């Protein structure tokens, strides 16, 4: 059955690629926003199926990657404390801070635990009343309802030894920031399907109108990405700039209202620093004042940590779609998933790590003309 599906997908994929070929007359640069889409594109080589005129660049949609170095250092400082049980999604454990990572701390005896869901942290908090349980609340809008519910439930249930270290990021302000940059090359976006499952896509409409870019909310499977690409190209060739939904089988314009309501009850929008990019105004969530007792950043009063990224790293430009991973002289030699130098290499969903995982660093070596010369 599985193979039949794959066969059908392949025939359909060819058909859509042909249609893109027939439609495109001018060169266009499209950005996929979601890290899951990036992974899919590189794994299946979707960018290489497309005509030369259509370039896919990879966006900032990996929350693990864009969590700032300062925030990782803060997490490490909190996790080091003997009274703390530090809980995190597994993806964050190997992300390097200025010195160590969470896995190193764990090996040295810190109580660092990988959890599947933030709701598990409440059980850990109840079972360990003498400890302070801290959850590393990272993620885009998809993850916000889970993290918000953990705080809401702690509040409802009178759990006082639970807090979250918030590093939430939001997609629409990051898109707007890319479009405002004088170096911007992106002319159309494949919007993030599962983020929009929660948020819907109303909030993308003013961005499409203001910056005159098509935004097509797209799934993460190869066929979805090809369809999303075709819909975006059709708009660009036709001079349109609208929000369209390629993924209606999962995404609605309104999204999940129940989830949005609780997120808005617990969180408010605030400025957020993105790894590799810097601070983007109103691009993240922070806990509302009423929930300040659950704010690990406040409870633990970590000192301001001054951090510096390696100068050679161009991840900020990769996250904005200005450069590709193999434009970086460090890619695949100085910088690898085992020893990442920057944001886009620290998690499997980052563009550099995805290129590396599927062997594109080997091609980059074969083609030195691709290397950044400046």
Partner 1 sequence: MCLAIPGKLIEIATDPNGVRMGKANFGGIVKQVCLEYTPEVEKGDYVLVHVGFALSKVDEAEAARTYQALERMQQLAELDIPDVPDEPFAIPRVA
Residues that bind partner 1 (CB under 8 A): 2, 5, 34-36, 39-40, 43, 61-64, 89-91, 109, 111, 114-120, 123-124, 126-128, 139-140, 142-143, 145-146, 149, 153, 156-157, 192, 194-195, 197-198, 220-221, 249-250, 256, 258-259, 262, 347, 349
Distance of CA 340 to the CA centre of its chain: 17
| 295 secondary structure, DSSP code | B
Nearer to partner 1, 235 or 347 (CB): 347
CB of 110 to partner 1, least distance (A): 10
Give the span between the Cα atoms of 136 and 138, in whole angstroms: 6
Do residues 53 and 212 make contact, with C-beta atoms less than 8 angstroms apart?
A: no
CB of 100 to partner 1, least distance (A): 17
CB of 238 to partner 1, least distance (A): 30
Nearer to partner 1, 2 or 339 (CB): 2
User: Which residue's structure tokens are 């599947």?
Assistant: 116
Q: Which residues pair with 182 in a beta bridge?
A: none
Give the span between the Cα atoms of 335 and 341, in whole angstroms: 5
CB of 71 to partner 1, least distance (A): 15
Nearer to partner 1, 243 or 259 (CB): 259
Distance of CA 330 to the CA centre of its chain: 22
User: Which residue's structure tokens are 């899951």?
Assistant: 36
Give the span between the Cα atoms of 316 and 174, in whole angstroms: 12
Nearer to partner 1, 24 or 193 (CB): 193
CB of 111 to partner 1, least distance (A): 6
Nearer to partner 1, 163 or 260 (CB): 260
Q: How many helices (H) and strands (E) does the chain have?
A: 17, 11
């Amino acid at each position: 059955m599985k193979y039949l599906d794959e066969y059908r997908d392949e025939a359909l994929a060819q058909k859509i690629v042909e249609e893109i070929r027939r439609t495109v007359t001018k060169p266009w640069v499209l950005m996929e926003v979601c890290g899951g889409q990036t992974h899919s594109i590189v794994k299946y080589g979707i960018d290489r199926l497309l005509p030369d005129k259509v370039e896919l660049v990879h966006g900032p949609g990996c929350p693990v990657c864009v969590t700032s170095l300062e925030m990782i250092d803060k997490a490490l400082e909190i996790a080091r404390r003997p009274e703390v049980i530090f809980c995190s999604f597994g993806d964050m454990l190997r992300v390097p801070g200025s010195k160590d990572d969470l896995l190193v701390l764990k090996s040295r005896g810190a109580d660092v635990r990988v959890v599947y869901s933030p709701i598990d942290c409440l059980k850990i908090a109840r079972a360990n009343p003498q400890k302070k349980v801290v959850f590393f609340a990272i993620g885009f809008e998809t993850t916000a309802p889970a993290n918000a519910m953990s705080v809401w439930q702690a509040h409802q249930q009178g759990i006082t030894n639970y807090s979250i270290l918030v590093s939430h990021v939001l997609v629409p302000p990051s898109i707007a920031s890319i479009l405002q940059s004088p170096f911007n090359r992106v002319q159309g976006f494949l919007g993030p399907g599962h983020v929009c499952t929660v948020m819907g896509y109303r909030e993308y409409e003013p961005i499409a109108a203001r910056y005159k870019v098509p935004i097509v909310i797209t799934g993460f499977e190869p066929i979805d990405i090809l369809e999303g690409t075709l819909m975006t190209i059709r708009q660009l060739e036709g001079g349109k700039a609208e929000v369209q939904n390629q993924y209606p089988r999962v995404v609605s314009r309104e999204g999940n209202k129940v989830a949005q309501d609780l997120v808005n009850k617990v969180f408010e929008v605030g400025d957020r620093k993105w790894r590799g990019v810097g601070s983007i105004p109103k691009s993240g969530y922070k806990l509302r004042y009423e929930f300040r007792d659950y704010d690990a950043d406040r409870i633990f009063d970590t000192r301001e940590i001054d951090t510096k990224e390696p100068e050679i790293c161009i991840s900020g430009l990769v996250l904005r779609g200005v450069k590709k991973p193999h434009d970086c002289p460090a890619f695949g030699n100085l910088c690898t998933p085992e020893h990442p130098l920057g944001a886009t290499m620290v998690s499997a969903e980052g563009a550099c790590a995805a290129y590396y995982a599927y062997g594109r660093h080997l091609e980059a070596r074969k083609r030195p003309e691709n290397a950044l010369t400046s």
